[in-house]
Amino acid sequence: MRFAFTEQQTEFRDAVRQVLTKVCTPDALRAAFDTPAARTERWTTLAEMGVVGLTVPEPQGGLGLDLLDLVPLLEEAGRSALPEPLIETTALAAPLLAAFESGQAVDWLERIASGEVTAAVAPVDVISRSVGSTAGEAAVPAAVGADLYILSSASGVHAVPSTDVTVTPVPSLDPTRRLGTIDWEPTTTTLIASGEDAREALAHLADRASVATAAELLGLADRMISIAAAYAKERNQFGKPIGSFQAVKHLLAGAQVKLEFARPAVYGAAWSLGQVELAGSPSGSRGASLAKAYASDAATEAARVSLQVHGAIGYTWECDLHLYLKRAWALAESWGSSADHRSRILASLVDELHQTQS
């Protein structure tokens, strides 16, 4: 057993952190809130570093790596609240296209690796593993201004160019989510998978999205806790830093403990999804659900306590904290809430129990 990242993986993570610290500052986030865009200079920079094409096969100009390699980078994206769609494009769309070797998939992969296109992926309900939810068609993240849309219909999974869709923006608390509803007609030219292939692809998609989103939530939680810890050290009341009071310490410590235990859950799940015998298995899916539920809870707890530690200043538009809070709240409910995932885990455990008994 070697449950750790390689030196190469941590070095790549450090390099991405260094770049994002410069190009994804709170000021840059504010600009993105004002004018959300799918492709930016930042995206080009990340493409040049190989981040965007990380999961694109080498023949198509990518690095040919997998979700496990991407997870530390997604954590960095979360830490900086990167507004661009790394989850949708690199964690979801590229591996899905790479699994189906059609001519158009190859073309899309090349354009993803070069940083020319960003993707939007219609959410799959993690419980039913079908498109949308029982509450109705969910708005699609990263939809406004995307170049490629991964959509599903009764006929299968489609890779649809922006020319074939009409996107109606849906306002979000976090404008960089670029939510939209999508009007489109499935055609045979856009179809990349059908039948059992499509069902399997959607099941994998739900698990991969859960883990990728969980990774971003880890970074967000870490960032919110460190912003609040820094503030608790410098803000004085009653003649001393508020961080010296136990009531404040215990809030932040509680969030930190949740985060510490969410990390290995996410890493373990990412590893499992890369194993042929585990990906899509009940145990692999439970791992993905554990990762998402734990990371969501860690991030929402970090959001709540970091705001509380700031007091009134944290409740202002001026304080940078809200830029991270809003992303955390959005991602926590995206690709299954922690309650959804708990429910999925329990159903799976009971199924397994009945199978071993019969």
**3-state secondary structure (DSSP) of residue 184:** strand
Are 53 and 63 within 8 A, CB to CB? yes
Residues numbered 220-249 forming contacts with another protein, rule: CB under 8 A: 225-226, 229, 232-233, 240-241, 243-246, 248-249
Q: Which residues are CB-neighbours of 222 under 8 A, at least 6 positions away?
A: 75, 78, 79, 259, 302
- 295 with 2: CB under 8 angstroms? no
**Between residue 66 and residue 95, which ones bind another protein under the rule CB under 8 A?**
68
Instruction: Closer to another protein by CB, 39 or 344: give it.
Output: 344
The dihedral over CA atoms of 136, 331, 207, 89, expressed in degrees to the nearest 10, equals 100
The residue among 108 and 231 lying less far from another protein, judged by its C-beta, is 231
Q: Does 313 bind another protein (CB under 8 A)?
A: no
Q: Is 342 in the site for another protein (CB under 8 A)?
A: yes
- Least distance between another protein and beta carbon 346 (Å): 4
Q: How far is the CB of 213 from another protein (least distance, A)?
A: 17
With CB under 8 A as the contact rule, which of the stretches 46-54, 126-134, 166-174, 267-275 interacts with another protein?
267-275
DSSP 91: I
d(CA 77, CA 115): 16
Both tokens of 315, joined, read 């409740």
191/302 with CB nearer another protein: 302
- Kindly state whether residue 6 participates in binding another protein, applying the rule CB under 8 A: yes
Instruction: Using the minimum distance from each CB to another protein, give the nearer residue, 191 or 248.
Output: 248
Give per-residue burial for 301-333: e unless 16+ CB within 10 Å, then b: bbbbbbbebbeeebeeeebbbbbbbbbbbbbbe
Answer whether 294's CB lies under 8 Å from 301's CB: no
- Select the residue interacting with another protein from 100, 271, 324, 335 (CB under 8 A): 271
Question: Applying CB under 8 A, which residues contact another protein?
Answer: 1-6, 68, 225-226, 229, 232-233, 240-241, 243-246, 248-250, 252-254, 256-257, 260-265, 267-268, 271-272, 286, 290, 293-294, 339, 342-343, 345-346, 349-350, 353-354
